[in-house]
Amino acid sequence: MNNRWRTVDIVVAAVLGVGFGVVFWAWGLLWNGPADAIPLPFRAVLYGMWLVPAVVGALVIRKPGAAFFTLTVAALVSVALGSSWGWTLVLQGPLEAAAAELVFAIFGYRVYRLPVGLLAAAMAGLAAGVYDAIVWYKEFSWLAIRLPFIAITVASSVVIAGFGGYALTRALANTGALDRFPAGRERAAV
């Protein structure tokens, strides 16, 4: 297996990152707008969207660093667009991305099946939930708000980033858009 990044890998990961960065910015408007009426910790059901690029990037590119690169680009784009969280995302995005990347590394960058995608999403959600609990919600009780927030964030990440990211990758592969990648060639072989 060749782990060297091709130009097409870089371009596709960057395009995915930029596209999701725009989605992140819009998702932030939802989080701070209508969803603001949902009390903590339950608002965390929306959290998984911010972690989708880590799973999709890894499932599409299948090279070391793909989860990290794609989610980090998305976070930086959302900062550039004026995210309400500002420069804190310069740290938080790569932190969440590294958690997802770790899972693919543990599997030697050889397994890109649904269970590994779900585990990567869960780890990214855990990193995100812990970060938020410590940085943004430090005035709240651990038992009443912060631990439930972390648990709901992990669950949201598994559903939205894990299952959703896997489904998005399969849907893209089925269109033929990923034929230059292993995810697309798997479709062709079936």
- % residues pLDDT > 90 (the chain): 85
Residue 51: pLDDT band (50, 70, 90) is: very high
Q: Model pTM?
A: 0.94
CATH topology for 7-182 is: Arp2/3 complex 21 kDa subunit ARPC3 (1.10.1760)
Residue ranges per domain, the chain?
7-182
Cα distances (angstroms) measured from residue 156 to each of 41, 70, 86, 93: 12, 19, 23, 17
Tell me what pLDDT residue 9 has: 96
Strands (E), the chain: none
- % residues pLDDT > 70 (the chain): 97
pLDDT in tens, 83-124: 888 888 999 999 999 999 999 999 999 999 999 999 999 999
Q: What are phi and psi of 136, to 5 degrees?
A: -100, -25
